[in-house]
Amino acid sequence: IDWQTAKTYEDILYQKTDGIAKITINRPHKRNAFRPKTIVELYDAFWDAREDTSIGVVLFTGAGPHTDGKYAFCSGGDQSVRGKAGYVDEEGIPRLNVLDLQRLIRSMPKVVIALVAGYAIGGGHVLHLICDLTIAADNGIFGQTGPKVGSFDGGFGASYLARIVGQKKAREIWFLCRQYTAQQALDMGMVNCVVPVDELEAEGIQWAREILQKSPIAIRCLKAAFNADCDGQAGLQELAGNATLLYYMTEEGAEGKQAFLEKRPPDFRQYPWLP
């Protein structure tokens, strides 16, 4: 396929071809974890795709494999720049700007398809969930890590996940922080299909081309209709984002991040399970 570079960035790749945009997180050495700059760039590219009347479908993916042979869609917030109240940008300001990106992906009147090879973990898992459709490679690995690394997404990450997989499974996913295979994700209804990793992009293009033959207004109204059913979750998202910000300011929250950076298990034993 003849991908044309649409704009050059530092942390992402942005390409277009025949009605399709492809946005790729390009930090494979960090399993495609995002820092504030990554989100600013993603927001800019998604906004461009939203505004471009020739684009109907966005493929959202992660660069890989890394030099160690492992693939990742995205491993969430970059813990190495996590400060006291969020992920710290080059100006020293802590941010949770991934929540703005979640809202843009949800509200843009184009179809966003996540192409997941390897890890979709933590805030990276929520990003694939937010997309309209997810095509998983057979090496896909899915899961949340928040309670392990001192974080949580009580917005779409909790309520939309529960809407998709049911309350029991959603609680299991968050409370145990296990990792799930692509087949398990398919069985839970978290992804639309599973294909061999070498066929992931081709499958995404095939799905995009089928969608592009349909009526844009019908598709945009359907996306809005699917969203409307869950729109109360947008309010939860804002409130939960504020709670996450406050949690990051606590010692308990910082212990999870510190443990990850020191490559050791977290020790939350000194923190009580308050009534």
Locus of tokens 């949340």:
144
| Contact pick of 26, 38, 145, 237 for ligand 2NE (by CB under 6 A) | 145
**Contact predicate 82/257, CB 8 Å:** yes
| Tokens found for residue 36 | 């504030």
CB of 66 to ligand 2NE, least distance (A): 8
Scan residues 250-269 and list those touching ligand 2NE (CB under 6 A): 260
38 binds ligand 2NE (CB under 6 A): no
Query: Does 80 contact ligand 2NE by CB under 6 A?
Result: yes
Q: What is the DSSP string of the chain?
A: ---EEEEE-SSEEEEEETTEEEEEE--GGGTT-B-HHHHHHHHHHHHHHHH-TT--EEEEEE----TTS--EEE--B-GGGEETTEEE-TTS-EE-THHHHHHHHHHSSSEEEEEE-SEEETHHHHHHHHSSEEEEETT-EEE--HHHHT----SHHHHHHHHHH-HHHHHHHHHH---EEHHHHHHHTSSSEEE-GGGHHHHHHHHHHHHHTS-HHHHHHHHHHHHHTTTHHHHHHHHHHHHHHHHHTSHHHHHHHHHHHTTS----TTS----
Q: Which is nearer to ligand 2NE, 56 or 146 (CB)?
A: 146
Does 33 participate in binding ligand 2NE (rule CB under 6 A)? yes
Least Å from the CB of residue 98 to ligand 2NE: 5
DSSP-based three-state secondary structure for 120: strand
Among 149, 200, 205, 211, interactor with ligand 2NE by CB under 6 A: 149
Q: Does 153 bind ligand 2NE (CB under 6 A)?
A: yes
Contacting residue, 70, 163, 171, 220, with ligand 2NE by CB under 6 A = 70
Nearer to ligand 2NE, 154 or 204 (CB): 154
Q: Is 155 in the site for ligand 2NE (CB under 6 A)?
A: no
Measured from the CB atom, is 140 or 146 closer to ligand 2NE? 146
Q: Does 11 bind ligand 2NE (CB under 6 A)?
A: no
d(CA 140, CA 124) in angstroms, rounded, equals 12
Give the residue, chosen from 146, 165, 173, 223, that forms a contact with ligand 2NE under the rule CB under 6 A: 146
Residue placing its CB nearer to ligand 2NE in the complex, 15 or 38: 38
State the minimum distance, in angstroms, from the CB of residue 67 to ligand 2NE: 10
Q: Please tell me whether residue 28 binds ligand 2NE under the rule CB under 6 A.
A: no
Q: Distance (Å, rounded) from C-alpha 68 to C-alpha 16? A: 29
x/- site string to ligand 2NE, residues 82 to 121, per CB under 6 A?
--------------x-x--------------------x-x
Q: Which residues bind ligand 2NE (CB under 6 A)?
A: 30-31, 33, 70, 75-80, 96, 98, 119, 121-123, 145-146, 149, 151-153, 244, 260
